[in-house]
Amino acid sequence: MEKTAQNEDLRVRRTRKLLQEALIELTVEKGFAAITVRDITERAMVNRSTFYRHYLDKYDLLDQYMDEVYTLIADAPIQPGRAARGEPEVPAGLLSLLRHIQQYSDFYRVMLGGEGDARFIERYRQNAERRYRYLLNLLYGPSAGDNPDLPPLDLRLSYASAASTGAILWWLEHGQAWSPERLAIWIGQLVSASVGLPLRIGAEVDPQPSRAAAFNR
Amino acid sequence: MEKTAQNEDLRVRRTRKLLQEALIELTVEKGFAAITVRDITERAMVNRSTFYRHYLDKYDLLDQYMDEVYTLIADAPIQPGRAARGEPEVPAGLLSLLRHIQQYSDFYRVMLGGEGDARFIERYRQNAERRYRYLLNLLYGPSAGDNPDLPPLDLRLSYASAASTGAILWWLEHGQAWSPERLAIWIGQLVSASVGLPLRIGAEVDPQPSRAAAFNR
Amino acid sequence: MEKTAQNEDLRVRRTRKLLQEALIELTVEKGFAAITVRDITERAMVNRSTFYRHYLDKYDLLDQYMDEVYTLIADAPIQPGRAARGEPEVPAGLLSLLRHIQQYSDFYRVMLGGEGDARFIERYRQNAERRYRYLLNLLYGPSAGDNPDLPPLDLRLSYASAASTGAILWWLEHGQAWSPERLAIWIGQLVSASVGLPLRIGAEVDPQPSRAAAFNR
Amino acid sequence: MEKTAQNEDLRVRRTRKLLQEALIELTVEKGFAAITVRDITERAMVNRSTFYRHYLDKYDLLDQYMDEVYTLIADAPIQPGRAARGEPEVPAGLLSLLRHIQQYSDFYRVMLGGEGDARFIERYRQNAERRYRYLLNLLYGPSAGDNPDLPPLDLRLSYASAASTGAILWWLEHGQAWSPERLAIWIGQLVSASVGLPLRIGAEVDPQPSRAAAFNR
DNA sequence: ACGTAAGCGAGACGGTACGTCGCGTCTTACC
DNA sequence: GGTAAGACGCGACGTACCGTCTCGCTTACGT
């Protein structure tokens, strides 16, 4: 409720918005790695030196943008995602995340794929892992995951979290031909099978205390 | 029998070897993204212009190196990995891959993590997906994966292949505290659960016809 | 009786004074060329935008400051500089100039030396030349300087005026180890020898009509 | 016989020559202070980064250029400057200096005037002072300048050396309407009068041992 | 004395130049 | 023919100043 609030200087808010939008557009067009700060500022019609007044480099711009995104998602009222009769319940946190990704599908399709950024992917994976671990603890208590018949819990979580990026990438590369609800259920199924315990719940809440930690870098 | 063969000029082989080794060392030390061509040539004690006589850029060096690696792995005689009694059988192709990775554990730990390269990760994932799909077809025939109770086959494969990088990364970041055989079995379990069909086999063979297609880029 | 008068807003006078003092301090410390507007305003504890409300740039600040200085010198009652018995008479205008320079010796030592400003030096030289020419005319009439045995008058005046800066610089770089009166006499001697006519007078008056023309730039 | 020699890389010599010429042209056009490195490189049709491969900044370019110039002057065979019958002898070193200055008259007119550079002027003056002091010693021995009736020797030398820049500037600003021989004689006269001892000689030699010390800065 | 217009602080912004770094190409000389 | 040495054009980087421009606050002046 300080920096991104509305009491921020109008010019500042405008500049940052323009730069964020330019970043997203250019990422879609030529891949994150190929973007230069000059590209961004030219697209945003902002002076290059102004860029540096707000961000350290393009990675910082991405980070701060993802921070804002995550804060918005976390703060937004969870829209229940009315599960049809007989359907498995939809993981609510995952659902709102997927809805956001769908909104910027082009951007995430690039960023999670080969033209994206390894740090971005890795932070995404760590976020997912943290979320799964949190959920597991919430549902089954601290030592729920222990099971001598299965691979170590940490391995299963690393496996499942990396897998999630694969699932989402598949979705995006097929034009999101299924609804976020549908995908959320599928991912829920797959992650449950990987972790070894059913994770389908509606009461899920983002473990982050509103201000999402640095997403990237 | 052409480029990497022994009939190549001695100086050429020496130069390429020095550059490859320098690439690996530096990747471990500062991450692939942060490496420059100058770094590589200084470490390899090779003139910078000589680098460009062999490679287009550092990505090309990585690609060609990975090509050689994959060719070596594919051509190597599969070492069966004696499964203990009662143990599930060990996926042989995966096993030799893991053994190679273990040999260059530092390098792969970096390349698959946040300091690595998105293209590298993505190509790795695609390789895995191709392997799984090939195996599935080999074991159960063309239409085996269809199952209305599960997510689409493509999704499951994308999920499982991305997951594999997570599993390997976990292994590498924990100092390979388990044997490649142990990990191969676990990954076999998890992938089987994700795909919905048991994939544990010993007859697995790499689908690549010796000369691995461009690994990266 | 307009800008620098006492009826000027107190805050304005305070700001200008702080900026002038900062300029002088910083010039001594790091040379005029190396000073930035930010340096000046930080030293003066004045906001940078306030600087631009009063001056165009650091050159303008210097100019206006020198204008004030010259006005003060010209308006000040000439203090006769009691020539001792038998001593050559002391050039009065030069004397009061030297006294002022002595007061800000550090500043002039820098400004007239290698870390100073070419425009400053040149304007100083032109001032001196104008003064000498005025004196010559006052003492000997319009066509006094003509002498076929000597270099052209203009050359002699250019020579003598440039020389004066050298003499003063020498004085300043030796810690003003001689009194202004002493130096004034010496300079009088040397200039007389250069010009070819004795210039030692007491009735000398600054030819400038009070408001000194732009000293610099 | 090392850097500026003919065995230097042809491209290097070409580049340096282009940059020097651009510097001179631009100095004449807009004054040394107003020149940027970009100006120079655009005029020279050389890439900006190439500039920095040879020089630290425009001051360094000026310095190195002046070094070369002074080396050339010092190494050149002294052209006697046939003094007409009855004429005072011409100071030979000064003469070759004036001839060089005449060749680049526009450049020196700017550099020694208000649009020039204080360091340049000061170094020039110091050079002149050193030359005079050397001459004095050569002609009259170590303690020749002492004379209680005159200002201190150092003052006279500082006076005369600064004066020389004024004389040359006057010459340049009047289109070199007199021959270098004529001006050399006049300057000889004036300096002799200032120093208090006749300095007109033909055997004068530059005290610098061929490789001129940094002229500027 | 007090209301008001000014001076001022704070700081965003568009510009321009800086000096550095990395890239990929090229030439020359050596071996 | 492979290599070392290194000049060069190109272009991005991040920094530093510049001069302009709001926008509120506060403070000295004039009635």
C174 and C85 both lie in a single domain: yes
Question: Average of pLDDT values for A33-53?
Answer: 97
Q: A126 to chain B, minimum CA–CA distance in Å?
A: 10
Closest residue in B to A183 (Cα) is: B151
B48 touches strand E (CB under 7 A): yes
Kindly determine whether the C-beta of residue C33 is less than 7 Å away from any atom of nucleic acid strand F.
no
Regarding chains C and D, contact by 3 or more CB pairs under 8 A is answered as yes
Strand E: list positions under 7 Å from protein Cβ. Answer: 6-27
Question: What CA–CA distance (Å, rounded) separates C111 from C31?
Answer: 7
pLDDT tens-digit map of D161-182: 999 999 999 999 999 999 999 9
Claim to verify: residue B28 and residue B98 sit in the same structural domain: no
Nucleotide closest to residue C13 (CA–C1'): E7
Query: Each residue of C191-203: pLDDT tens digit?
Result: 999 999 887 654 4
Q: Is there a single domain that holds both residue C79 and residue C121?
A: yes
pTM, entire model = 0.85
Domain range for B28 is 2-55
Tally of CB atoms within 10 A around D177: 9
Contact criterion met (CB below 8 Å) for C167 and D156? no
Strand F contact with D146 (CB < 7 A)? no
B133 CA: distance to closest CA in chain A (Å): 15
More confident site: C57 or B89: C57
Distance C122 CA to E6 C1' (A): 38
The verdict on A69 and A176 lying in the same domain is yes
Sequence-separated (6 or more) residues with CB below 8 Å from residue D132:
D157, D160, D161, D191, D195, D199
Stronger pLDDT, C89 or D126, i.e. the higher one:
D126
C59 pLDDT band, cuts 50/70/90, is very high
Q: Please determine, for residue C127, whether its predicted confidence score (pLDDT) is greater than 80.
A: yes
Last residue of some domain: C55, C71, C97? Answer: C55
Nucleotide nearest to B41 (CA to C1'): F4
Do C50 and C69 sit in the same domain of this protein? no
Question: A112 and A44 in one domain?
Answer: no
Which nucleotide is closest to the Cα of B40 by its C1'?
Answer: E22
Q: Do C162 and D158 touch (CB under 8 A)?
A: no
Q: D122 and D202 share a domain?
A: yes
Is any atom of strand E within 7 angstroms of residue A85's beta carbon?
no
CB contact under 8 A, B194 and A189: no
Residue A205: predicted pLDDT? 45
Residue nearest to nucleotide E18 (CA to C1'): D37
Give the least confident one: A120-124, A197-201, B95-99, B138-142: A197-201
Mean pLDDT of the region A20-30: 97
Pair (C37, C123) in one structural domain: no
Q: Show which of residues 158-177 on chain D sit within 8 Å of chain C, judged by CB atoms.
A: 158-167, 169-171, 174
How far, in Å, CA of C201 to CA of C185, rounded? 10
D146 pLDDT above the threshold of 90: no
Res. A143: pLDDT tops 90: no
Nearest CA in chain C to D194: C190
C93 and C190 part of one domain:
yes
Q: What is the CA D192 to C1' E17 distance in angstroms? A: 47
Please list every residue in chain A whose beta carbon sits closer than 8 Å to the beta carbon of residue B151.
Answer: 186, 189-190
Which nucleotide is nearest to C12 if distance is taken from CA to C1'? Answer: E7
Residue B95 predicted with pLDDT over 90: no
Q: Are C140 and C197 in contact (CB under 8 A)?
A: yes
D136 and D69 within one domain: yes
What's the pLDDT tens digit per position in D13-64? 999 999 999 999 999 999 999 999 999 999 999 999 999 999 999 999 999 9
* Claim to verify: residue D175 and residue D80 sit in the same structural domain: yes
What CATH number has the domain bearing residue B17? 1.10.10.60
CA–CA gap between residue D186 and residue C150 (Å, rounded): 8
Predicted pLDDT at C6: 61
Which of the listed residues D55, D78, D93 is the one where a domain comes to its end? D55
**How many domains does chain C divide into?**
2
Distance CA D128, CA D134 (A): 10
Report pLDDT for C61.
Answer: 97
H helices of A31-152, in order, are 37-44, 48-54, 58-75, 92-103, 105-111, 118-140
Q: How far is the CA of C111 from the C1' of F25 (A)?
A: 39
* B142: confidence class by pLDDT, cuts 50, 70, 90: confident
The answer to whether the beta carbon of residue C46 comes closer than 7 angstroms to any atom of strand E is yes
Q: What is the pLDDT of residue A135?
A: 86
Which of these three, B29, B55, B81, is where a domain ends?
B55
R_g of chain C, CA atoms, integer Å: 19
pLDDT of residue C213: 43
Tokens of A101: 């990704």
Which pLDDT belongs to residue B215? 44
Q: What is the pLDDT of residue C199?
A: 77
Q: How confident is the model at residue D71 (pLDDT cuts 50, 70, 90)?
A: confident
Q: What is the pLDDT of residue D149?
A: 86
Q: Which of C27, C124, C159, C183 to mutate to test the interface with D (most CBs of D within 10 A)?
A: C159
Residues A180 and A130 in one domain: yes
Residue type (1 letter), B10: L
- Chain position carrying tokens 């808010």: A13
Facing residue for B158 by CB, picked from A115, A161, A167: A167
Residue D217 has pLDDT above 50, yes or no: no
Cα separation, B27 vs A57, whole angstroms: 22
- Going by C-alpha positions, the residue among C12, C155, C182, C192 that lies closest to residue C83 is C182
Mutate to test the interface with B, among A161, A174, A190 (most CBs of B within 10 A): A190
Cβ-Cβ pairs closer than 8 A, A with B, add up to 107
Q: Is the pLDDT of residue B86 over 60?
A: no
